[in-house]
Structure 1
Amino acid sequence: MRYENVKGTKDFNPEEMEKRQYIIDVIRKTFEEFGFVEIDTPCLEKWEILSKKGTGGEGILEETYKFEDKSKALIGLRYDLTVPLARFVAMNKKLPLPFKRYQIGKVWRYGDVSKGRLREFLQADIDIVGAESILADAEVLACASFALRKLKIDFLIRINSRKVLNSIMKKVGIKNEFVNDVLRSIDKLDKISEDEVKKELFSKGFSRDVIENIFEMIKSNPNELKVDGIDELNKLSEYLKLFDVKNFKIDFSLARGLDYYTGPIFEIVSKNKNIGSIAGGGRYDNLIELFSSEKIPATGISLGIERIFEILSDYPKKKRIFVALSNEDVFEDAIKIVKMLREKFYVDYDLKGRKLSKQMEYANARKFSIVIIVGKRDLENKEVTVRDMESGEEKKIKIENLESFLEGYLELV
């Protein structure tokens, strides 16, 4: 029988996991440096939460995994981390505001599968709940930018506002009940061509004149367009420059497909790889109110770990040490060395009682940086042989000096 992963899911081998974990560690550290605290929420949510009017919208619900459990309750796999956060805030009314939270977790969407686009994927989110000021939007963008710079990713931030888009829709004569329908089509501009988006809008019943007017306005110069929301975007631009975030542009074609956005929206794209957005978010001042009697403003951004993984080519590899035994007679001495080194290093040893040559083959296949060979003759001199697996160079090192030698040596390789 031939086994396969469920379409849109992926196994990660140890080398891939090391790279993935490095990305997560850098992002997590940055989040905490900016004052965000971590929460976790269930992968499963009641369908009434995920499908509530004003949350993700029809498009996202079509991609949401939904099922009936044994008690006949309708359940869904979360499609983002924002709606669960809104539910969390509504259930925890005594949170001190502003509440700066981060969460790193998997989400699921039954969408098209391509490079960097899976149906099960990992997101790293930061959100600020309870702050009306555009400064909060600048803060989440500054934090995301700082994390991506640490990862040495060359990127561009696109910013827009739902207020601007809503104002444009009003000027071209789109009724309120059809605005989100138009924006869902415009949101596809980074996936399909402008002509295809226009055809989709035409198929939805909008006239060619209205469609042309929409595109004329979203292509306008930011300094010339006079609509609601422009002042907020200008303020956001000022704050970003204050945070030394300069690689951004105002782009009126940016829509973001989720229905809950109410103000500034943003997306981060790689300058070097055409892989879609690597981060996105915006302000959602009405979402929490759907689950609570209180209106609480909020804004946030989500970083896509899978897409960052595809972009990142250079990252520091962990330096691992393998302790090899020349024969069974040195087993107890080798274990003492393993225990000593594990206080500071990543250390493994052979569990199968193999000959030294087979141990070396295994260490090479596992890509260990250093192999420490424990031999009977060396032990008589209270030393071991240290081999650099890349260069093949070997040195005799006194056991009492082994820790300090490795600390210095591993910093250089």
Structure 2
Amino acid sequence: MQNIKGTYDYFGKEQALRKNIQKTLQDLFELYDFESMDTTLLNELELLTSKYAGGDEILKEMYQLSDQGNRKLGLRYDLTIPFAKVIALNPGIEFPFKRYEIGKVFRDGPVKRGRLREFLQCDVDVVGISGPEAEAELMQLATEAFRKLDIPIILKWNNRRFLGEILASIGVPAEAQLSVMLTLDKLEKININGVENELIGKGLESATIAAILALIEMDNPNFEQLCDKYNLTTQPGASEVLVLQNLIHNIGLQDTCRFDPFLSRGLSFYTGTVYEIFDASGSFPSSLGGGGRYDAIIGQLVGREDIEYPTVGLSFGMESIMTLLAERPTQENSAANVMVIPIGETLPQALIAAAELRACSIRTTLVSGKRKLKKQLATASSKNIRYVILIGESEASDDKVRLKDMAEQTEVIVPLDEAIYLITG
């Protein structure tokens, strides 16, 4: 018996780390006034394969199934499409609407470090804000989240509309631009030779391919250089980049948020700004998060492609974050604050004491009195449990407990309410 490849069970220290990361992010999301949401794991296959769904690569990795009524279904492969479905099905939602969701998604893809088949995703999305303040706030959120997690990051960002304007200026047909963008997005993985081979396979004219290669051979071009070279200053995508770039500088995020003109991300539904987050030290190669603007999905789902619902999202790469933090040395922490040990025939008194401790929000473990006391105390010490409450028959008859402070190596016999005062004080 074994787990399916790319799936894991989590418990002990590993689960404690995962829950701590989730709580850190959840607290921050609520500080930014995002509402919690849970969307369905099971969805209609037609929804998951719709025009503005995940793109060809992700659709190949989707788990497909059918129910007893032979309806075609699929397991969600991300949290974005189910979220768009919620907005489409609930026209009464007041905009702007901000939500966060932490939940499992499923992809039948290659398994590698930080990439699983059953994994946790964590998304924040804003519907109803068309201006760059939505992107800027999510960039602030990402920066603060990784600061709290003690992970230095670089957030690379671009604008797909602007990249499309560059490609149009060098002769890439409109119908081929998305495909070319997805190839450019893989530049660091497949290098310039790989890009050239993919471009040749797309049937582009040789002059257009040469112009694309000349573009990517530029030495870290900035936004202004590209506007001048391709005469794009008055184009709408260029205007969007300029406004967001100025906003990033004005809020002091220019060192963390860096413009990357070749970034487009692998999903097909992005319509404007896109961004991706990486470990600034370079020691962890996988993405730590990403997202962007996708204004067209919801209109597509309600059958109104002429209407845009301005939407921006950010997805944290939870499994990558957890893998990165799991590699760091951690200080041993105790799960329980107090261990209660009955000695002799005092189990009822021990259960009552444990209940009162828990009623005071003190995390308490109750252990059997069958093991030798020396071993029980050694267990408490190994788990960094500071306080141990012993209840023998003499303590029970006097309606008291013996409180041991494992750190100070002291003990006192006191009523339970006084023991609680000493533990919490």
User: TM-score, normalised on structure 2?
Assistant: 0.87
Is residue 2:404 matched to residue 1:386? yes
In structure 2, the residue matched to 1:55 is 53
- Partner amino acid, structure 1, of 2:417: E
Match for 1:288 among 294, 298, 309?
A: 298
- Partner amino acid, structure 2, of 1:295: E
| In 1, Cα distance between equivalents of 2:392 and 2:188 | 61
Match for 2:337 among 321, 328, 333?
A: 321
* Long gaps (5+) in structure 2: none
1:163 deviates by 0.8
In structure 2, the residue matched to 1:175 is 173
- Partner amino acid, structure 2, of 1:250: F
Match for 1:79 among 77, 80, 86?
A: 77
- Partner amino acid, structure 2, of 1:8: G
Label 1:345 to 1:54 Cα distance change in 2 as closer, same or farther (>3 A): same
In structure 1, the residue matched to 2:363 is 346
In structure 2, the residue matched to 1:223 is 224
| In 1, Cα distance between equivalents of 2:130 and 2:331 | 38
Label 1:352 to 1:204 Cα distance change in 2 as closer, same or farther (>3 A): farther
| In 1, Cα distance between equivalents of 2:344 and 2:310 | 66
Report the more deviating stretch, 108-117 or 43-52.
108-117
Secondary structure at 1:348 match in 2: strand
Label 1:315 to 1:207 Cα distance change in 2 as closer, same or farther (>3 A): farther
Label 1:60 to 1:326 Cα distance change in 2 as closer, same or farther (>3 A): closer
Within 5 A, what are the aligned runs for 1:105-254?
A: 105-206=103-204, 210-218=208-216, 219=218, 220-226=221-227, 227=232, 228=235, 229-246=237-254, 247-254=256-263
Is residue 2:276 matched to residue 1:267? yes
| In 1, Cα distance between equivalents of 2:334 and 2:95 | 39
Is residue 2:410 matched to residue 1:400? no
Label 1:381 to 1:332 Cα distance change in 2 as closer, same or farther (>3 A): closer
1:56 deviates by 1.4
Is residue 2:323 matched to residue 1:310? yes
In structure 2, the residue matched to 1:411 is none
Secondary structure at 1:80 match in 2: coil
Secondary structure at 2:239 match in 1: helix
> Residue by residue, what CA displacement relative to the aligned partner does 1:86-140 show, whole Å, maximum 9, x if unpaired?
1111110011011111111111122221111111111111111111111111112
- Partner amino acid, structure 1, of 2:297: L
1:298 deviates by 0.7
8 A contact 1:324–1:356 mirrored in 2: no
| In 2, Cα distance between equivalents of 1:207 and 1:7 | 43
8 A contact 2:334–2:383 mirrored in 1: no
* Long gaps (5+) in structure 1: 409-413
| In 1, Cα distance between equivalents of 2:94 and 2:182 | 35
In structure 2, the residue matched to 1:371 is 388
8 A contact 1:51–1:61 mirrored in 2: yes
- Partner amino acid, structure 2, of 1:339: A
Is residue 2:34 matched to residue 1:24? no
Report the more deviating stretch, 188-197 or 166-175.
188-197
1:394 deviates by 4.0
1:9 deviates by 1.1
8 A contact 2:292–2:314 mirrored in 1: yes
Within 5 A, what are the aligned runs for 1:331-342?
A: 331-342=347-358
> Residue by residue, what CA displacement relative to the aligned partner does 1:377-398 show, whole Å, maximum 9, x if unpaired?
566594423243xx58343363
Secondary structure at 1:40 match in 2: coil
8 A contact 1:326–1:355 mirrored in 2: no
State the 4+ residue runs in structure 1 displaced beyond 6 angstroms.
Answer: none
1:152 deviates by 1.6
In structure 2, the residue matched to 1:299 is 312
| In 2, Cα distance between equivalents of 1:397 and 1:168 | 78
Report the more deviating stretch, 85-94 or 192-201.
192-201
Label 1:332 to 1:169 Cα distance change in 2 as closer, same or farther (>3 A): same
Label 1:376 to 1:385 Cα distance change in 2 as closer, same or farther (>3 A): farther
| In 2, Cα distance between equivalents of 1:10 and 1:190 | 30
1:319 deviates by 4.7
8 A contact 2:343–2:369 mirrored in 1: no
| In 2, Cα distance between equivalents of 1:352 and 1:206 | 78
- Partner amino acid, structure 1, of 2:311: A
8 A contact 1:324–1:359 mirrored in 2: no
| In 1, Cα distance between equivalents of 2:73 and 2:381 | 47
Label 1:363 to 1:209 Cα distance change in 2 as closer, same or farther (>3 A): farther
| In 2, Cα distance between equivalents of 1:12 and 1:69 | 29
Report the more deviating stretch, 66-75 or 196-205.
196-205
Number of residue pairs aligned between Structure 1 and Structure 2: 404
Q: Percent identity?
A: 33
| In 2, Cα distance between equivalents of 1:372 and 1:174 | 75
User: TM-score, normalised on structure 1?
Assistant: 0.89
Report the more deviating stretch, 366-375 or 4-13.
366-375
Secondary structure at 1:6 match in 2: coil
Report the more deviating stretch, 254-263 or 197-206.
197-206
Q: Could you say what the CA RMSD is over the residues aligned between the two structures, in angstroms?
A: 2.5
- Partner amino acid, structure 1, of 2:139: L
